[in-house]
A = this chain, B = another copy of it.
Amino acid sequence: MHTIYGIALGPGDPELLTLKALRILKEVDLIFYPGSITKDQKKSFVYPILQYHGLEHKELKGFFLNMSYDRQEASETYVATVKDIEKAYQTGKKIAIVCEGDISLYASFSYILAGLQELQLPVSLVPGINSFSLGASQHQIPLSLLNDKIAIVPRVKNITEISKYFLEFDTVILMKIRSGWNDFHSELVQKDWKCYYCERLGTNQEYITTDLTTLANREIPYFSLLIIKQ
């Protein structure tokens, strides 16, 4: 039987795959990949990356999550996917499960990993470039120097919460900013912090700016983040 690989594909740019990720994906028989369902439309952010590398001719199985806060439904998808993986594993297939960004940071893969660990199946993980590393590279800024401290905070709610982190941290990385954006954007513009906005990094719709006033009427997508420094 073969080790089951969890493979991070990085933040969108197919060239930001690691050599290890690509080598293993070429070696496996079957690739499980994630996607989302919005209004009955199935979409996958990672499928184009697999296509780019000519992997779409392999056996591919998508698992799609409804974009809602219904964790029960998501949980059922993960359980079903783990069962599919186990079945394929028992037939002796070489298997990889891929994910966006890094494999340990807010990754849907983590739920599948928990299921595979419960079944005591052999697993090996390959990390990937995370989105805020690409964001810092595109803005050409350091996230940290010497003894700088970094806070990574998803779904921040208001400006008070952000200010609090700066009592202790040098850099604050806000992930999944869409939900609270309208509640803190206007106050954030007033601050004299340095803000580095990133949207759809690594894709051909990538957009970055340091001028938050230009974002006043912008629709903020799910794949957006903000790096802030004092």
Taking CB as reference atom, which chain B residue is nearest A104?
A: B136
Whole-angstrom CA separation of A134 from B129 in the bound complex: 10
Q: From A58-66, A80-88, A106-114, A210-218, give the one contacting chain B.
A: A106-114
Q: Is A117 an interface residue (CB 8 A)?
A: yes
Q: Could you tell me the dominant secondary structure of chain A's interface residues?
A: mixed
Q: Is A55 an interface residue (CB 8 A)?
A: no
Partner of A18, one of B18, B146, B152: B18
Q: Mark A85-126, 1 if CB is under 8 A from B, else 0.
A: 000000000000000001111110011010001000001011
**Cβ of B127 and Cβ of A137 under 8 Å apart?**
yes
Q: Mark A141-164, 1 if CB is under 8 A from B, else 0.
A: 111111111111111000000000
Taking CB as reference atom, which chain B residue is nearest A227?
A: B104
Taking CB as reference atom, which chain B residue is nearest A101?
A: B133
Each complex incorporates copies of this chain amounting to 2
Partner of A154, one of B106, B128, B149: B149
Partner of A105, one of B23, B106, B143: B143
**Cβ of A107 and Cβ of B151 under 8 Å apart?**
no
Q: Can you list 23 A-B contacts with CB-CB less than 8 angstroms, sorted by A residue number?
A: A16-B18, A16-B19, A18-B19, A18-B129, A103-B136, A103-B137, A104-B136, A105-B133, A105-B143, A106-B146, A106-B148, A110-B142, A111-B145, A113-B140, A117-B140, A127-B133, A128-B129, A130-B130, A147-B155, A148-B154, A149-B153, A151-B151, A151-B152
The list of the 7 closest CB pairs from A to B, nearest first, reads A104-B136, A110-B142, A15-B20, A125-B137, A127-B133, A150-B152, A127-B137
